[in-house]
Amino acid sequence: MARTFVCTYDNPVVETKQGKIRGYIIDGTYTFHGIKYADAKRFQQPTEPASWEGVKDAHSYGYVSPMLNRETAQGEILAPHRYWPKDENCQYLNIWTQSIERDAKKPVMVWFHGGGYSDGSSIEQAAYDGENLSKFGDVVVVTVNHRLNILGYLDLSPYSEKYKNSGNAGNADLVASLKWIRDNIAGFGGDPDNVTIFGQSGGGGKVYTLMQTPEADGLFHKGIIMSGVGDGFPEQGTDSRPLVDAMLLELGLAPEEIENLETVSYEQMAAAYKKVVPAIRAAGGYTGCSPIPNDWYKGDPRKVGFTEHAKTIPVIIGTVISEFGAHSIPNKHGLTEEEQMKLLKEEFGEDAGTLAALFKAAHPTKCVTDVMMLDSFSRVGSKDFACKKAAVSKVPTYNYLFTLEFPLDDGTPAWHCSDIPFFFHNTDKVALTGIPGVADELERKMSGAFVNFARTGDPDVEGLPHWPAVTADVVSTMIFDRECVVRANFDDALYKAFAPHAQNPFQPKKKTFVPH
Amino acid sequence: MARTFVCTYDNPVVETKQGKIRGYIIDGTYTFHGIKYADAKRFQQPTEPASWEGVKDAHSYGYVSPMLNRETAQGEILAPHRYWPKDENCQYLNIWTQSIERDAKKPVMVWFHGGGYSDGSSIEQAAYDGENLSKFGDVVVVTVNHRLNILGYLDLSPYSEKYKNSGNAGNADLVASLKWIRDNIAGFGGDPDNVTIFGQSGGGGKVYTLMQTPEADGLFHKGIIMSGVGDGFPEQGTDSRPLVDAMLLELGLAPEEIENLETVSYEQMAAAYKKVVPAIRAAGGYTGCSPIPNDWYKGDPRKVGFTEHAKTIPVIIGTVISEFGAHSIPNKHGLTEEEQMKLLKEEFGEDAGTLAALFKAAHPTKCVTDVMMLDSFSRVGSKDFACKKAAVSKVPTYNYLFTLEFPLDDGTPAWHCSDIPFFFHNTDKVALTGIPGVADELERKMSGAFVNFARTGDPDVEGLPHWPAVTADVVSTMIFDRECVVRANFDDALYKAFAPHAQNPFQPKKKTFVPH
């Protein structure tokens, strides 16, 4: 079915601080793609974009940040991608809204994409499209591009005062996007005083790092961290000089010529980085490509404590059951108990029986062999984050776990990114989510919980049991699945027994996540 | 609404000549993305891909050909794009089908993408997705990537016998895709004896050049050329040595070192080409990037005559009313006759009155100011092609013109590519086609005509008037619009009067097509 399209010379046109912007209306949703929210010189903090006369069209997504490695299209069945032209000049955002009335004051949900701090974009996954969520929740959805990897996170502060926050330039772009939203979102029907930032994987990291960034205080009011906290990320040093000196040497530059880094091509700079970084990494040195604690960014709250501002932010934090370890097993649901235990013994040795029992207790409806794919990295870290926040914060923190089994192979437990189409109300856009009689209802509950949280701070939604907040000692977890239930401290014993077998996706011991 | 997904270890799996391939089923459509149909060394003819053991997944689109210029996302409202990772190793095709029964023998429709012979891909436009067309028409849809620009069309034959057909390597890939289809499509429910090739712009060019390529004889049985013929393409010479010598010089190579071109990076080769080609072009020399007539490709049928094989191919050929010149005029439908004529006089001088009258006679329901955006380049060339073919061919040739006005600005006449969503039954995927009460019915008729032509050679379809074939003297044109009508030789006088004002999109005199 074709849809209903409107785009005349003067509709929809919104006045922003810098000038007028025209989008289009599709089936009633006002749509604006590729709005420039900031400009920035390489390694510098972002500034407000220049103003213009007349009307600019916002009909095409903006450039995405250059990336270190050539993209390869694999595993599209697991997470359909959208690739896009790249340029350093990448401070663009996109808006979907149901109203452009200035006093509509609808909740604003701002999506920070994943891909660590090195990859991805606001439109990288088909599931990031904001139209459905805006329409379903009557919210203003904003998605944001920003500088990544060595453009966004390379600390040059030891070389010159002018680079004092280059190590967090990518996060500074995010703050600039939130300032643009503060200044302009009312014209798009949004409430600048009710902004929720949410993101998955690296995007979840962006949420908690902005909670710890004083310049962002007051620019957002709630946060959702999806699979964005990990236990056992590779530690890196804080002195960037060994890395940057090696890059400069590789480029034939002396440390005094640091400013030449502003003008060498990205490709050259990336090649130099990629050549020198393995040795730096092996030595535990600073490797860039993620925010560095300094005056501007206060550091991981689990290590340094939550800032006073972070304590005022209600948070939803959660993960999916298998994250990076998901795969299937032939005839998985047809195996006898004996065959299952044979597999578990191969994997876990003498702990197999204990783990099987604990997994069954935690996940009674699941196939016991799924314990072989259990994520520990994200789940343990997220529970820890939730408890630490609950211990110091008067506003609620909620925890979830997404455990749906997907109809791929002989049944594949939820993997990293597989929850996004549900929370974004986009199961129509991701083939693999197509489970008749399940997907539509589950996405209504999952995206409904996020929308209600964004609107009021309370994620309760019709059809879900009441979702209690986490306390310092009790993690009440909303388990999203065919049947949604809340359980408290239900998998602590499992993870305690599982710890010796837990895999770090960044330092794989046995299996790695190979997309089908 | 979520959709219904199936992908188990053994379903859907199809055995091909080289090995087993697994796709997935979405709402009943069997879907296979990124099947390798050939391998090729740079500048060489393609060969059959290597065989494999076990089952390969065809779940991700394949690499697309590298391109000379960096892509920039603009005008997405006019033709939403999909960008994709690039690699020379780009011989991939995609299949959508309603059956994988070996004796289903459904018509096969093979899409060759546009972008001249230099740009684009099988998935470049959102409108190229094959699912809807396959489902609506119960046909097997195949879309094809192949080598482009200097990888696919750089004649090195003067330098070595081993490069004798490098000037048509990109088209040789297309022939290889048709051989793969001949050998394997029955396994995907398709009839290898009923293959229609269709394409738009450069893709239309690919259709008629393959009609003139003896190696493709028997591999396809019908052709559809959409906006793919032009009157006044820049002529280029046939001696490739000035171009290639200049490229070699730029790369620091002697003509005897021609084989080094096989191993320099694409980026270096492209940079050399882009540096030297303007002077060659100015001198009217060979510039590559399109098929070169030789023993393998017989040349443009309008110049050299139709091959005996081409005469056996039923053809639909057509264009859209404004192609590269489309834009709107403020308050277009509110202008008085006087105001309209003022604009026309500014554009056409003393011919304004004649052109207005002839345009009104040809297109009585259109705003007379649309004559300022009239395409001549493609329409005149396509009518000429149709008549010349009808004069020598016993099988039918059909002509169409797509004249729909779109709800952009104050009404924009159909532009280059705007017909594709309708013929592909994909108006749900292209926002701008959303005209309530019009789009669904029109796409049913337009895609229905193509499907019936593919099935039987006759494009007649319920709801459309009978569509007569072109003769050597009479061009009966199916006009696709809110109301579809057939008219014979209805715009010859218009184009005769318009000729002095006609613009060549490759040599713009006044206006150029600037996407909004």
Closest CA to B354 of B343, B344, B367: B344
Q: What average pLDDT does the segment B211-230 reach?
A: 97
Gap from B334 CA to chain A (nearest CA, Å): 14
The answer to whether the CB atoms of B330 and A9 lie below 8 A apart is yes
In this prediction, residues B278-293 reach a mean pLDDT of: 96
Q: What is the pLDDT of residue B343?
A: 97
Q: How confident is the model at residue A509 (pLDDT cuts 50, 70, 90)?
A: low
Confidence of residue A508 (pLDDT cuts 50, 70, 90): low
**Which of A137, A187, A145, A138 is CA-nearest to residue A22?**
A187
Helix (H, G, I), strand (E, B) or coil at A488: strand
CA atoms of A458 and A315, how far apart (whole Å): 10
When pLDDT is cut at 50, 70 and 90, the band that residue B373 belongs to is: very high
Is A5 close to B434, i.e. CB distance below 8 A? yes
Cα separation of B471 and B475, whole Å? 6
The CATH fold of domain B316-501: Rossmann fold (3.40.50)
To the question of pTM greater than 0.80 for the whole model, the response is: yes
Check for a shared fold between B5-233+296-304 and B316-501.
yes
Do the Cβ atoms of A77 and B59 come within 8 Å?
yes
Taking CB atoms and an 8 Å cutoff, what residues of chain A touch B70? Answer: 85
List all residues of chain A from 84 to 123 with a beta carbon under 8 Å from chain B: 84-85
Residue type, B433: T
| Domains in chain B: boundaries | 5-233+296-304, 241-282, 316-501
Among B407, B409, B428, select the one facing A1 at the smallest CB separation: B428
Nearest CA among A508, A488, A484 for reference residue A376: A508
Instruction: Say whether A431 and B330 touch across the interface (CB within 8 A).
Output: no
Return the residue of A nearest to B7 by Cα. A408
Confidence of residue B515 (pLDDT cuts 50, 70, 90): very low
With beta carbons under 8 A apart, name residues in chain A contacting B328: 9
Mean pLDDT of all residues in A170-180:
98
Segment A49-75 shows an average pLDDT of 95
Query: From edge to edge, which strands make up the β-sheet containing A55-57?
Result: A13-15, A20-22, A55-57
pLDDT for the residue A514:
40
Between A336 and B515, name the one with better pLDDT.
A336
**Is A347 touching B (CB cutoff 8 A)?**
no
User: What DSSP assignment string belongs to B106-121?
Assistant: EEEEEEE--STTTS--
Would the CB atoms of A434 and B5 count as touching at under 8 Å? Answer: yes
A436 vs B: CB within 8 A: yes
pLDDT tens-digit readout, B137-171: 999 999 999 999 999 999 999 999 999 999 999 99
* CB within 8 Å: B84 and A73: yes
The whole-number pLDDT of residue A506 equals 75
Cα→Cα distances B78→A21, A494, B125, B286, B431, Å: 17, 54, 10, 33, 9
B55 touches chain A (CB under 8 A): no
CA B111 to CA B36: how far, in whole Å?
A: 16
Residue B16 has pLDDT above 80, yes or no: yes
Any CB–CB contact under 8 A between B441 and chain A?
A: no
What pLDDT, on the 0 to 100 scale, is given for residue A325?
87
Please report which confidence band the pLDDT of residue A510 belongs to, taking 50, 70 and 90 as the band edges. low
Candidates B61, B50, B56; CA nearest to B124 is: B61
When pLDDT is averaged across residues B170-175 and rounded to a whole number, the result is 98
Integer Cα distance of A83 and A335 in angstroms: 40
Contacts of B24 in chain A (CB under 8 A): 77, 431-432
Region A289-314 average pLDDT: 97
pLDDT tens-digit readout, A191-227? 999 999 999 999 999 999 999 999 999 999 999 999 9
Q: Within an 8 Å CB–CB cutoff, is residue B327 touching chain A? A: no
Pick the CATH number of B5-233+296-304 from 3.40.50.1820, 1.10.10.10, 3.40.50.2000, 3.20.20.70: 3.40.50.1820
A515 pLDDT exceeds 80?
no
Q: What is the DSSP letter of A427?
A: G
B273 touches chain A (CB under 8 A): no
A513 pLDDT higher than 90: no
In single-letter form, the type of residue at position A234 comes to: P
A431 in B contact zone (CB under 8 Å):
yes
Q: What is the DSSP letter of B459?
A: -
Q: Does B33 touch chain A (CB under 8 A)?
A: yes
DSSP state string for A204-273: HHHHHHHHT-GGGTTT--EEEEES---SSPPP--S--HHHHHHHHHHTT--GGGGGGGGTS-HHHHHHHH
CB contacts of B61 in chain A (<8 Å) are 73, 76
Contact list in B for residue A8 (CB cut-off 8 A) is 407, 409-410
pLDDT for the residue B201: 97
Question: Is A492 a residue whose pLDDT tops 60?
Answer: yes
> Nearest CA of chain A to the CA of B455: how many Å?
24
Q: What is the pLDDT of residues A304-327, one digit of tens each?
A: 999 999 999 999 999 999 999 888
pLDDT given at position B409: 95
pLDDT tens column, B333-370: 999 999 999 999 999 999 999 999 999 999 999 999 99
Per-residue pLDDT tens over the stretch A119-164: 999 999 999 999 999 999 999 999 999 999 999 999 999 999 999 9
Give B31-90 pLDDT, tens digit per residue.
Answer: 999 999 999 999 999 999 999 999 999 999 999 999 999 989 888 999 999 999 999 999
Place of tokens 């129509």: A428
Quick: pLDDT tens for A427-447: 999 999 989 999 999 999 999
- pLDDT in the model for residue B173: 98
CATH fold for domain A5-65+81-233+296-313:
Rossmann fold (3.40.50)
Give which of B192, B245, B246, B237 is closest to B219, Cα–Cα.
B192
Q: What is the pLDDT of residue B504?
A: 81
- pLDDT attached to residue B508: 58
Which residues of chain B have a CB within 8 Å of the CB of A129? none
Number of helices (H), then strands (E), in chain A: 13, 17
Residues of A in contact with B405 (CB under 8 A): none
pLDDT confidence band for B514 (50 / 70 / 90): very low
Show residues of chain B in contact with A61, CB under 8 Å.
73, 76
pLDDT class of B513 with cuts at 50, 70, 90: very low
With DSSP H G I counted as helix, E B as strand and the rest as coil, what are the percentages for chain B, rounded to 5? Answer: 35, 20, 45
